[in-house]
Amino acid sequence: MNLKETVEETFFSIITEYKLKISNVNDKEVLLIGQNFTVYISCHFAEIFVHIKKEKDNIPIKPLLWAYCLNKVNFKNIPKTIYPPYMKMENIVKYNLFLQCNYIGLFCKELLLGDFSNMQLYIERSETILKEINNFYEKN
């Protein structure tokens, strides 16, 4: 699987709309570079890790977690993702990328426009929400 090609295909609409440049760091990591931010996309164990950063040393923002922290959506209303055992890694990666692309398009438009004003709120709430999520799914 070529991560860069998959990202190019999946994120086509965002790349086009926000005029992002795509940069291949290595076979596990791709960058989408905008004017005021960078989207870091990496893949390991078929898990997709998508982080948005204003600058290199800033706290990385997870798109869906951004939505949770800013009360754009309640995590309990998001259907739990389950992969069938026969699903191949390659398809899991594509599916994950598709989800992440949608999360960015739905919940992170201000970040794509360079507005990181709610960053402090994200920092304050993210840890708590992550614990809630883990506790919730541990029980469910």
Partner 1 sequence: MKKQKFKDLLKIGILTFGFFFLINCEKNNIPEEVSEEILPKEITENLPISIKTTSFLNTDIKFRSLTNKYNIDSNKNLQPSTNTQNKITTTNKSSIVVYTDIIKEITQGDYTSYTMLIESLDDDPNTFYNLTMEEENGNTGMFVTQYRTVHNKTAKDVAGKQSSSSNMEISTRRINDLQVPLGPEDFGNEGGGSSGSGSGGGGSSTTYPTDCDGTVITTTVANETRCTGCISGYPTWPSLETSTVYECVPSSAGGHTSGGGANAGGGSSAPPNNSNSSSITTPVNPDGTSAVPDILTSYLSLSPAQTDFLIQQPDLTNTFFEFLQQNNTAEDKTYVKGQIELETLLDKGKIKLQPLRGKINNRDDQKYTHFGTDGVFAFYKMEDGSTVISSPSQLTLNSDGQLVAQFTSEVSNSHYWYIKLEGSNEWANYLLKSSTNLADELRATALLSAEALGKAIGKYVLPVEDIKILLDGTDFEGQKVSRYQAGGFLLLSIIPGSKALKIVGNAADALTVVVKLGSNNLVVDTVKTGLKIVTDNNVVKFLSQTGDEIARIVNGVMTFRYAGFGGNIITNPNKTTTLLGRYADNTENGTRAVLDSKLFKFGENKGGLNLLDESTWDNLTQSQKDLLNYNWLEQAFIRGDDIRLISNPATNKFDINGALTQFGKELNWILNLKQSYGYIYDSISMTYKKL
Determine if 102 is a binding residue for partner 1 (CB under 8 A): no
Nearer to partner 1, 16 or 77 (CB): 77
Interface of this chain with partner 1, residues 64 to 83, rule: CB under 8 A: 64-65, 68, 75, 78-83
Judged by beta carbon, residue 16 or residue 57, the one nearer partner 1 is 57
15, 57, 62, 111 from 18: Cα distances, Å:
6, 22, 18, 11
Residue 139 interacting with partner 1 (CB under 8 A) = no
Q: Is 106 in the site for partner 1 (CB under 8 A)?
A: no
Written as one letter, the residue type at 133 is I
Given CA atoms 123, 126, 127, 129 in this order, what sign does their dihedral have?
positive
Least distance to partner 1, CB of residue 71, Å:
15
In the numeric block, the tokens 């614990």 are attached to: 131
3-state secondary structure of 123: helix
User: Which of 44, 71, 77, 117 is the binder for partner 1 (CB under 8 A)?
Assistant: 44
Query: How far apart, in whole angstroms, are the C-alpha atoms of residue 25 and residue 19?
Result: 19
CA geometry: angle at 28 spanning 22 and 30, to 5°? 15
Chain positions contacting partner 1, by CB under 8 A = 1, 42, 44-47, 49, 51, 60, 62, 64-65, 68, 75, 78-90, 92, 99, 126-127, 130-131, 133-134, 137-138
